[in-house]
Amino acid sequence: MSTVIESAEPRSARSSRVLEENPPHARRTMEALRELGYDSYASILDIIDNCIDAHAAKIDIEIGEQKGDIVMTIDDDGTGMDEETLREALRLGSDTEREPGDLGKFGMGLVTASIGLSQQVEVLTKENEGRLLFGGFDLEQIASENRFVRWVGTATREQIASFPREKGTRVRLSKTDRISNRNATTFANTLRLRIGQVFRKFLKSGVTVKVNGRAVEPIDPLMLSDPKTLLVLDTEIEVDGKGSAILRVVDLPDFGAAGNKSAGIIPQNSGFYIVRNNREIMEAHTFDFYKKHPDFSHFRAELSFDGSLDAHFHTDVKKMSIHPSQSFLDKLRQATQALITESGRQGRARANVDRGQIDHSTAEANITRRAPLIPKPKALIERRTPRGRKGTHPSGDGEKLRTPHVTNLKTVSGLKVAFNEGDYGEQSPFYLVKQEGRTITVTYNREHPFWREFLEHAADAKVVAILDYLVFA
């Protein structure tokens, strides 16, 4: 039974309230929004969202240095904006109508994304058969006025001459004080790769994006165009009774150690790639289903959903992360856990190195040469209460040799040692030791999780020798 708690204030007093505007402190608000968490590349990606939502088929991005400032221009051939729409686009939290399939989410993209990178935003836009409009804002001016101010009006002749398209929008970012790399060429090259992965589905469907004149190529982290990639699962997962998300899981091909590294098949890139409205918003996330480890480098999954499920996935304002319900995560884990386990098993199998590829000769030679100097360890003694007292063992004299966890090793003259590898399961010890005659054999368990960590450094003979000495000791 619910309880309704009413205000202690009389109803008559509440009805006589006089409401007044309570605008936020403009300078402080903009300063806070600049710390929202956009990186330099994510800011550009968010602006590209607007281009695609405007049905642009061609997007041209230019990045260059002008008088010590890195200036960025994003041109598109989309539908353009009328004056009312432009005014809303330059407003913090614009009230433009959005469809479930739009890439924008809260109407804050242009403002919040651009100020995460630059202080000044200028927009030229034109609808088909409409007039060219010019608008923008400057953070220094907003701070000086301490008001949310902007400008919107008709473009000048010079601006009209510089805008040859019948329709579209151009966004120019300047005073880029938050850019992560001030080398324009390096920044452009990295941005090209980010666009290629994030907007891969749009690029494959015909949208053209160029950065400094070079076309962006789609990059598919699932590598589905490679005939050796195995699609091991393609299904739908119900989302809290409100719709479904599409899940695809692949096992990437093995190109050998060098080839895998070159193709980006490394632990950091393993995981789930989250796609909202055909646009990637998260990459290589594990949801804590497993730890990023070389064993799982070949595991990749793509989870796709549309914007109508934003409330259930709790998509953040930057469209950079999701926080699904525990019930959905349980379904996702159930659908993928066996595949993740199998991927790890195959990863360990790939990592198994044939005897002789890891060189143990340094430790083998030194231990054999110095065998006479190695003292025989004392037998472990298990102390017991003398016979006759309450609770004593029925036999024995109170002292008994404790059975060692490995075969008794005898340091006799002519001792030899050999290091080997075998497969004994994840739960078995990292190594096993046995002695046959004058030879002690140390066998490493290749299925133990630490084995893969060891292999990462196995090319260094000193590392191998140090581990061999420690294990033998």
DSSP string of 281-330, one letter each residue? EEEEE-TTSS---GGGTTEEEEEEE-GGGHHHHT--TTSS-----HHHHH
Indicate the class that CATH gives domain 26-215: alpha beta
Domain residue limits, the chain: 26-215, 230-351, 361-375+411-472
What is 230-351's CATH number? 3.30.230
Give the lowest-confidence range in 44-58, 338-352, 378-392, 424-438. 378-392
**Which of the two residues, 368 and 462, has the higher pLDDT score?**
462
Stretch 350-375: mean pLDDT: 69
**Among candidate residues 84, 157, 172, the one with its CA nearest the CA of residue 122:** 172
Local structure of residue 201 (DSSP, 8 states): H
Q: Helix (H, G, I), strand (E, B), or coil: what is residue 205?
A: coil
**Which of the two residues, 93 and 122, has the higher pLDDT score?**
122
Cβ-in-10-Å burial (0-12, 13-18, 19+) of 402 comes to exposed
Give the model's pLDDT for residue 257: 83
- Which residue type is seen at 135? G
**Among candidate residues 215, 204, 127, 211, the one with its CA nearest the CA of residue 165:** 127
Give the model's pLDDT for residue 418: 87
- ∠ CA 153-154-159, nearest 5°, is 120
Confidence of residue 436 (pLDDT cuts 50, 70, 90): confident
**Among candidate residues 321, 284, 317, 323, the one with its CA nearest the CA of residue 116:** 317
- 134-161 pLDDT per residue, tens: 999 999 999 999 999 999 999 999 999 9
Mean pLDDT of the chain: 85
- 223-270 pLDDT per residue, tens: 999 999 999 999 999 998 889 999 999 999 999 888 999 999 999 999
- 89-109 pLDDT per residue, tens: 998 766 555 566 677 654 456
C-alpha dihedral (332, 334, 338, 340), degrees to nearest 10? 30
132, 431, 432, 451 from 421: Cα distances, Å:
73, 9, 10, 10
Local structure of residue 390 (DSSP, 8 states): T
